[in-house]
Amino acid sequence: MPRHTPSAPVPGAQDAPAEVLPSGSELYWRLRRDVMEGRFPPGAALMETVLSSDYGVSRTPMREALALLEHDGLLERAQRGFRIRSGTAEDVVEIYEARIALESEAAASAALRATELDLARLRRQHEVILAADTDDAGATARAASFRFHELLWQAGHNATVTELLVKLTARLRIYDNGPPSPFGGTEPLHQEHDAILRALHDHDPDRAREAARAHLRRSLEQRINALVGGGEEAPP
């Protein structure tokens, strides 16, 4: 396996909402971020001994971190240790459909349970996305949009649903084979986010559910087009 230089420590681990971070070592979150950012070649063997040396840790915590990443669905067992999980186009569609079912219910729950602070955070993030489009229509805007979704999950105040969504979206990123590329259709994206926000503000769970479902179904259609080589990259 090529020599890997690990990232710096990542306090807080931005890949998952803080409310649902499981107990575990900082090593797990450092390794998880490196996997999510595509820093290991697809199909490369992730060997416990080599990684322990690269990250400057003993084999026991590395073994535990790798086992957790396998449990998350990001790694799979290989003949020599682990490797980044791979999937077919059908796998991607199935995962996305599960995400749509869960996130639409999270939005409905948020319409009933969101606090004023939750709503303020979502409105602020909507503004961040608009600014990101102006400054950088690529990875920055996509990351800002993904954060909007994380805040929506948290506003539903259902830790189990949020934990499942964290795992599903992580696997989608793995199947994208690396850092997210720029997405298209920013104007519809803003309109759809705005529709979700209005439904939350009006405490209307049915509208919130349908707004989230419509938004994610358009994203799924874009993702399918991208998978067959004929469309734009899907928004998060």
For residue range 58-94, list pLDDT tens digits in order. 999 999 999 999 988 889 888 888 988 877 788 889 9
pTM metric for this prediction: 0.74
Fold category of 89-227 in CATH = Four Helix Bundle (Hemerythrin (Met), subunit A) (1.20.120)
According to DSSP, the β-strands at 75-78 and 45-46 are unpaired
For residue range 118-159, list pLDDT tens digits in order. 999 999 999 998 887 655 556 677 788 889 999 999 999 999
The domain 18-84 having CATH identifier 3.90.420.10: the answer here is no
* Cα–Cα dist 69/75, whole Å: 6
* Cα–Cα dist 165/150, whole Å: 9
- Is residue 1 over pLDDT 60? no
Tell me the domain boundaries of the chain: 18-84, 89-227
Q: Strand 75-78's sheet: what is its strand order?
A: 45-46, 81-84, 75-78
- pLDDT averaged over the chain? 81
Among 14, 78, 68, 71, CA closest to 42: 78
Per the listing, tokens 């590329």 go with 181
* Cβ burial, residue 18 (10 Å; 0-12/13-18/19+): exposed
Tokens of 113: 């349970």
